[in-house]
Structure 1
Amino acid sequence: MFVLASQVNTTFVSSSNPGITLSGTDVIIAVGTPAGSYTLVYQICEILNPTNCDTATVTVTVNSAAIVANDDAYSINDCSSLGSVGNVLTNDLLNGSQITSAMINISLVSGQNENIQLDTLGNITISSGITAGTYLLTYQICEKLNPENCDTATITITIKDSTKPIIATLPVPSIVSCSAPLNFAQAVATDTCSSVTLTFIDVTVQGSCIGSYTVTRTWTAIDLTGNTATASQIISVQDNTGPTTTTTFESNINVTCDAIPVKPELVFVDNCSTVSPAVFKETITTSSQTSYTITREWSVSDSCGNISKFIQTVNVSIASSELPIASSACSGDSSTINIFNLLPQGTPTNGSWIDVDNTGALQGNILSPFGLSLGNKVFEYRINNETCPRSLVLTININDDCIVLGCGDIKVHNAFSPNGDGINEVFVIDNIDDVTCYPENTVEIYNRWGVLVFETKNYNNQTNNFEGISRGRTTVNQSSGLPTGTYFYILNYSTIDGNGKVEIKKLDGYLYLSK
C-alpha cells in the first residue's frame, strides 16, 4: 500500500553532496553540481502516529552538459600583419550555449609553435619570425565543473608571403688598378616574413689586354617561400702600371777602372700583364782624361702598352796609384799558395809579378812560404793597360803560427787563501785549462777526517774551481766556507800520448787552506 504525502511528514536526513537537498517531497539539485551519482537519505513519519517513522535512500544521477569544440580556420595574406588573429571559443558550445573562458580550461594538444600562442581566454596570437605556410594545431577544452568533460578541435592557420626580400643599396660602379684587391661589398638583405639566403655569381668580361677587365658581382636573395631579389656591383680593372724588376741593383756606382761591375741581369715582372723582352742599351761618355761614365738602360713594356725604364750609371775613375793588399802565411807550412787568388775578384790575368824583397820563394803565381824568415814580404803585381794602368802591392806577413808547441806540465799549487783580498783566492792547477792537451779531469778534496768536501769534473781555474767552499756529498755549512787547515787532493786527468792514445794520470797530495 503506497503512502500518500498527506499522510506523512517528510524530512531531509543527509546527502552525499551539499548541492543535493530536499524541498518537501521534491529532490532539489543545485546549479553547479558536478556530474556524478549521489545519494539522499530522508525520513517519513506518520502524522497520526508521529513516532511511526522510517528512512529511505534516494540515488540521484547528475549528467554532464554536452560540450562541443568546433574547428577554426584563419588566413593571413601578409606575414607582416601579425598579432591577434581570432578567438577559438566563439564557435564552441556548452549545453547548447556559447562557451566563455570562465566555464572551461583550454590547452594545446599538438602543433605547438614558438611563434603561435593560445592564451587561457582562447585568443590566438602570432608573433614575428614565423614563416609562410599552413600550420595545424589541436586544442582541447574541458569543463571546469566536470574536468573530464572535454572535446578537441583543429585550428588551421594559413600564412601567405608574396613579398620579395630587400637588398640594401650596393656601391656604384668603380675603377681600380689591377694591383689593388677587388673589394666587393657584402650584400645585406632583409625580409618581413622569414630568413634570407644570399648567394652571388661573378661574371668577368675581358678588356683590351690581359690586365684590363670588368667584374660584375650579382647577389641573389631568396626567402623561405621562394621570393627572390637581385642586385649587382660592378668593378672595372685597369692596368696602368709598367713592369717592375725583382732584381736589386745600384742605380749609381762610383768605381775605379779596375773594378767595373758586370751588367746585372735584371728580372722583370708585371703585376697584371705579360712582360715583353727588355731592350738593353749601354753608352760610354768621356768626361775627362781620368774619368768616364757608363750608362746602362733597360726599356721594358707589358701587354697593355705600359713602359718602364731602369737606368744604372757607373762613374769610372782611371787611377795609376798602387793598391795595397795584406795577407799572411806561416814559415812552417810546406804547402804552396797561389797568391793571385789573394787579389781582388776580376783582376786581369795578364799582369806580371815582381818579388820586391827578392825572397826567391815566388814562381809565377805560386809562393812557397816554407823556411822564409819571419816578417813582411812584398810582392807587386803590375797591370799594363792603356785605359786602366795600375799596380797591386801584396804584403804577406810571414809568421810561425802553424808551428805546434808542446803541452805545458800539470802543476798543482798546494796552498791558497780565500780571504777576499783578491790574491791567491782559488786552488790553482797550472795548464789544466788546456783541453787540447788535457781533455778531461776530475778533482776530489778531503778534509783531515777523510770527508769529501769538494768534487767536480773538468776543473778549470776560472769558472769551475775550488774557492774553499764545500761542494762534496757530505753536508757542510757553505755560508762561512771551510775552516783553515790541511786538506788532501786527488787529481785524475787524461792526456794523449805520442801514438794518439788516451792516458789517465793521477796526482795527489796535501793542500793547505789559510784565511
Structure 2
Amino acid sequence: TPVGFCVVDTLYSNYMPGDSFPLGTTVVSYTAIDSTGSITTATFAVTVTENEPPQIDCPESPVVLNVGGAIISDPDFFIFSADTVASCDGVRLEFDMPAATDNCGIASFTQIGGGLAGGVFPIGTDTISYEAIDSSGNSMMCSVVITVQGLTPLNAFSNPALGCVNQSVTLTADSIPGANYVWSGPQGPYANDNQIVVTGFGTNTEGLYTVFAEVNGCPTPLDSVTLELATAPDAIDDTNIFIAPGTTDTFNILSNDVLIPFSDFSITQVGALEGLTSLGNGLFSYESPLEGGEASFLYEVCSKSCPNLCDMALVTILALNVEDCSFIPNIITPNGDLVNDWLEIPCLNSGMYRDNSLVIYNQWGDKVFEATPYDNDPAIAWRGTFDGEPGKDLPDGVYYYIFKPGPNEPVIKGFVEIFR
C-alpha cells in the first residue's frame, strides 16, 4: 500500500495475484501514481525451484534368456522378441524403451549404455542403461540386466533306474516346448519326444542312450543315460560270527554278499531269533544267552527294481568262551619231534581272530617272517625258518614279534626263542 502520497490515482504491477511463475527468478514490480502525478516504483524477486527427478518405469532385472530364443525370466515383459542367430552363441533381441514421466516435463530420455534393440546379445551378461533429464536438469537412471545363457544338457534319466527282463523302461529328458528331440540307442530309431519307452527290455536293449534337442535350430549339448538290467543278488552264508556268552555284539549280514549295485537291494525277510534286533541296512545286534551255544537265522535279500530277483542265506552265530591273546608262548623247539615244533598262539584256535597279523624280527631289526593272517595250522605255522620256507632254518636265538589280533585290537609285542 503506497504511503506518503496524496490520493493514489493509479497502481499497477507486471504480475497479478494468482499468476503462475516460471522456473527461476522473476522480478515483480509495483508502480503507483498519485493525483499530483508523482510516481514511485517498488520491486521484489520471486524464485521458483524444482528438485523432483523424473520417474522411469524400470523393468525388473535380470531378464534371462537362452540362445534358443526362450525367455526364461522377464517379469515385466521387457523383451517382445527373441530370435536365434546362426552361430547359436547369442540371441537377437527387440525391446522398447521404458516409460518416463516428470512433473515439469522430460527434456531428454536416452539409452546411454548396453546393447541396442535389434542387436545380438552374446552369451553372458549385459546391462542396458537409460537416463531421463527434466527441464530443471534433474535426472534419473534405469538399468536392465540382460543374461543370455547357453543351452544345457537335458538331464536324461530312466525309470526304473535298473530294468527288469521283458518289462518297459521309460527314458525322460527335460521338456522344451517346440523342440525337436533326437535319441540314439541300441534299437533305434526313436520318437521325436522328450520321453521314449523301451518295451520288452533285455540284453539287446540295455546300453548307452543319448539325446539332444534342437531349439529353434540350436542344439543342446549331448546328454546320455545307461540302461542296465537288474542283477540277481548272491547272498552268502555268514559262518564266522563269534560272540562271548551273555554279551551283545553287532554285525552286518550283507557285507559278504554280492549285491550290484548295493543300493538296489534290501532285506525282505528275517527269520525269528530271540535276542536279535535289526538296526537297518543289514546291521543287526544280537544278545547271546549266558549259557552260550550256537544260534542261526535265515534272511532274504531282493532287488528293489525287480522284486522277483531274490536270494537267501544262513547266518550262524557261535557264543563261545574265548581266552584273550595276552599269552603267546616264548619258545619253540623245531627239531622235528612234533613237540613244540611250531609257534602256536592259543587264542587263534577260537576262530574269533581271523583278521590278525604277525611280524617277526631278528635282533638286528630285520624282518624274518610275516603272515596276515597267522594260522596255527601245522602245515603253514612258523617253524623257525626264514619267511616260513622249509629248509631255510634261522639260527637259534631270541626273535621279536609284533602281533595284532584284529583291526580294533591292541598290538601285542614280545619275544620268542628258537631252541633246537
* TM-score normalised according to structure 1 size: 0.29
Higher RCO by CA contacts (8 Å cutoff, separation 6 or greater): 2
